[in-house]
Amino acid sequence: MKELELNQIDDLKNILTNYDNIIFDIGDVILNWNSKNETHDLRQIIKHPIWKDYEKGILKKENAFTLLSSEINIPYITLERLVNKGMKSVTVNQPMVRLLKELKQLNKKLICLTNMDKNSFFYLFSEFDFWQYFEFVYVSSLLSMSKPNIRVFQYVIDNAHLDPNKTIFLDDKTSNLEIARKLGIHTFNVKNYAYQLNKVNISTDLSTSSELLNLLERKKKGNAYLHGHLLQSPFCKSYISKDIELTQGKEFSKEIFSTIVILHTNSSLPKEIVEAMTHEINAHNQNNFRWCFYKEEARPENFPDDLDTTSMILSFLLKNQKVTKKMILPVVHEMLSNRNEEGIIQVYFDKNRPRIDAAVAVNVLYLMYQIGYANEEDLKATKNYIYDFLIHQEYLKGTRYYPSPDVFLFFLSRLVSDFPDQFKSLTSELKSNLISRIDTTVHPLDRALRVISLKKFGIINRLDFIKLLETQLHDGGWPMNGLFIAAKSKEYFGSRELTSSFAMEAIETML
C-alpha cells in the first residue's frame, strides 16, 4: 500500500474517531512489501490454497512447504528463501503507525485481525513494536480460521465484546470487507480509500453464536465438576507419580500448595469455596505467616518453610484483605534476608538449603511489588536472574520444581502484566517467547497456561484453546498433569482439580 498523504491521514482519523472499536488488517495496511525483493513470486505463493491452510495453522511449515514445492515446481530451499527474503523486505507504513498511536491516546479499542502463518507472525512480532497499540491481536494461524470466513468476524465480535454498529474494519481486500459488513461492521478499504457505512440491520445481541453457546455449555459442565469436588474437599487432593501424566498416580493428600495455586488461578470460584479453602490454609499458619509445602501433620522432620508457598499465600490473603501489609512485613524482611551470595532470593527459609528456582523467584517478586517494596537494590539480582533465565531460554528445560516451560512463562506473565512499569525491559521478550510456545506440547495443563498467559497481553491463542476444549472429559473435568516435581525423588504432583482450574480460567479469559 502506498503511504497516505498527510491530508488523507487526517481525513481517515476524522472517520475513525467516530467509532469505539477499530479493527486493522496488517499486510498492505500497516506493513508493506518491498517490491524490489521478488515479492511478485511471493504474492503468487501466498494465494495458493496450500498456503491458505498454512495460514490457518492446519499445516505445519515443513508439510506446507513440501506440498507447495511439489505443486508449483519450486525447490523447497528456493521457496524458503523467497519467503524469508519477503519477510525481511517488509517495511512499516509510518503514517499508519502514528495514527495507531493517536487513536490509542484517544482510548479507542484497537484490534488486529490478520491472516498470517505462525512463523511470520513470530518474526514480525519480534521485529516491530506497533503491536503494543493493539488491545487484542487475532492471527489466523492462532485461530484455526481466516478471513473472509464469516466465522472469524463473528468470533472477534464475541470474544472482544464488540457492538458492530460502533466498529469499523480497515482492510485492503474487498472480499474481507464485504463479509464484515454482513455482520454490521462499518468498513474502510485502504486500497482505494473507500469508506462504507453498514446498511444492514444487525442485532447487537452477541450471545447467540453457536461457538459461544458451546463454550458456555462447557463452562457450565466444568464448573459443576470443579466446584463439586472443591466443596467436598476444600483441601485439593493431589496425586504423585514418576510420569508427568500421572497415569499410575497415587493419592497424596499431604500438601497445601495445590490449594493455593487453585485460589490464585481461578478468578471465578464461588465465595463459599474460596472461604473454605482459605480457612484450610490458615489452619496451617503457625502464627508467623510462613508456610510449608506440606501440611503441618505431614511435614518431614526438619523440613523448612518455603518462600514459594508463603509468597503465594500471602499474596492471595493480601489481595482478599485477609491480612495487611503491616502484618506481613516481618516475614517479607525474612525473605529478603534469605538471599545467596549473588543476591538471589532462595527457595527455603533455611541457610542450609541453598536452592534457587526461577519460578519461585518470580512469585516472591510478585509479593514484593504487591506490597510496594521500595528498595530496588535488594531485588536487582533476583530480577537479573529472571531476565537471564528468559533471554537465554533456560526455561525450556523447566525449573528445579516446575518441569514445564509454560509454568515459568505463566507466572512471569502474571508478574509483568500486573506490574508493567517495573518490567518494561521484559515485556517484548516475554511476549515473543510466549508466541513461540504455541501448540508445542499436548498436555491440557500446558495448553491452558499458554492461553491464559497470552491473553494477558491481548494475544488470542485459539489454536491451543480449541485443543484444550477437546480434552474435556465427559464429567466436565480435565485429565491430570504434573504441575510441580520433587527435585530429589523426581515425583510429579498434580490433580484433575488443578488442571481443571487452569482450564476453567482459560475459558473465563476467552469469554
Asked if residue 268 and residue 165 are part of one domain, the reply reads: no
Question: Does a structural domain hold residue 53?
Answer: no
pLDDT bin (cut points 50, 70, 90) of residue 208 is: very low
User: 19-57: per-residue pLDDT in tens?
Assistant: 999 999 999 999 987 755 555 577 778 889 999 999 999
CATH of the domain at 154: 3.40.50.1000
Question: Does a structural domain hold residue 382?
Answer: yes
Helix, strand, coil shares of the chain, percent, nearest 5, are: 55, 10, 35
Asked if residue 266 and residue 179 are part of one domain, the reply reads: no
Of 174, 196, 218, the one marking the end of a domain is 196
pLDDT at 40: 58
pLDDT bin (cut points 50, 70, 90) of residue 5 is: low
pLDDT at 284: 86
Cα–Cα distance, 431 to 392 (Å, whole number): 15
Single-letter amino acid code for the residue at 431: K
Q: Read off the DSSP letter of residue 352.
A: T
Question: Does a structural domain hold residue 462?
Answer: yes
Average pLDDT over residues 478-499: 95
Asked if residue 250 and residue 168 are part of one domain, the reply reads: no
Residues making up the chain, counted from first to last: 511
Out of 71-85, 123-137, 214-228, 468-482, least confident range: 71-85
pLDDT at 7: 73
Cα–Cα distance, 367 to 344 (Å, whole number): 15
Average pLDDT over residues 212-230: 95
Which region, left, alpha or beta, applies to residue 345 given φ > 0 means left and ψ of -120 to 50 means alpha?
beta
Single-letter amino acid code for the residue at 96: M
pLDDT bin (cut points 50, 70, 90) of residue 2 is: low
Asked if residue 252 and residue 108 are part of one domain, the reply reads: no
Cα within 13 Å of Cα(476), Cβ side: 17
Domain region containing 107 = 6-33+90-196
Question: Does a structural domain hold residue 84?
Answer: no
Res. 207: pLDDT tops 50? no
Q: Total domain count for the chain? A: 2
**CA distances, 362 to each of 79, 342, 359, 385, 409 (Å):** 42, 16, 5, 10, 10
What spatial distance separates the first Cα and last Cα of the chain, rounded to whole Å?
A: 35
Asked if residue 17 and residue 114 are part of one domain, the reply reads: yes
User: 148-169: per-residue pLDDT in tens?
Assistant: 999 999 999 999 999 999 999 9
Set of cell numbers at residue 182: 454482513
User: 239-271: per-residue pLDDT in tens?
Assistant: 999 999 998 899 988 899 999 999 999 889 999
DSSP string, 448-504: HHHHHHHHTTTB--HHHHHHHHHT--TTS-----EEEE-TTT--EEE-HHHHHHHHH
Per the listing, cell 519480534 goes with 126
- Beta-strand relationship, 31-32 and 91-92: antiparallel
Cα–Cα distance, 489 to 350 (Å, whole number): 20
Numbers of helices and strands, H then E, in the chain: 22, 12
pLDDT bin (cut points 50, 70, 90) of residue 3 is: low
Asked if residue 392 and residue 340 are part of one domain, the reply reads: yes
Asked if residue 475 and residue 328 are part of one domain, the reply reads: yes
Asked if residue 430 and residue 284 are part of one domain, the reply reads: yes
Set of cell numbers at residue 26: 496488517
Question: Does a structural domain hold residue 43?
Answer: no
Residues 6+ apart with CB under 8 A from 29: 1, 93, 96, 170, 171, 172, 190
Average pLDDT over residues 52-68: 95
Where do runs of H (alpha helix) occur along 56-146?
Answer: 61-72, 76-88, 94-105, 118-127, 140-143
**CA distances, 207 to each of 143, 163, 183 (Å):** 19, 12, 14
CATH of the domain at 269: 1.50.10.130
Asked if residue 233 and residue 329 are part of one domain, the reply reads: yes
Of 163, 196, 229, the one marking the end of a domain is 196
pLDDT at 236: 86
Asked if residue 155 and residue 273 are part of one domain, the reply reads: no
User: 394-439: per-residue pLDDT in tens?
Assistant: 999 999 999 999 999 999 999 999 999 999 999 999 999 999 999 9
**CA-based nearest residue to 334, from 284, 291, 285, 384:** 291
Per the listing, cell 525423588 goes with 489
Cα–Cα distance, 283 to 70 (Å, whole number): 66
| Cβ atoms of 371 and 332 closer than 8 Å | yes
pLDDT bin (cut points 50, 70, 90) of residue 204 is: very low
Set of cell numbers at residue 108: 479507542
Which region, left, alpha or beta, applies to residue 303 given φ > 0 means left and ψ of -120 to 50 means alpha?
beta
pLDDT at 306: 97
State if pTM tops 0.95: no
pLDDT at 386: 98
Question: Does a structural domain hold residue 228?
Answer: yes
Question: Does a structural domain hold residue 176?
Answer: yes
Question: Does a structural domain hold residue 44?
Answer: no
Asked if residue 265 and residue 187 are part of one domain, the reply reads: no
Cα–Cα distance, 176 to 174 (Å, whole number): 5
Asked if residue 315 and residue 442 are part of one domain, the reply reads: yes
Give burial (CB, 10 Å; 0-12/13-18/19+) of 411: buried
Of 196, 220, 237, the one marking the end of a domain is 196
**CA-based nearest residue to 415, from 423, 404, 425:** 423
pLDDT at 200: 53
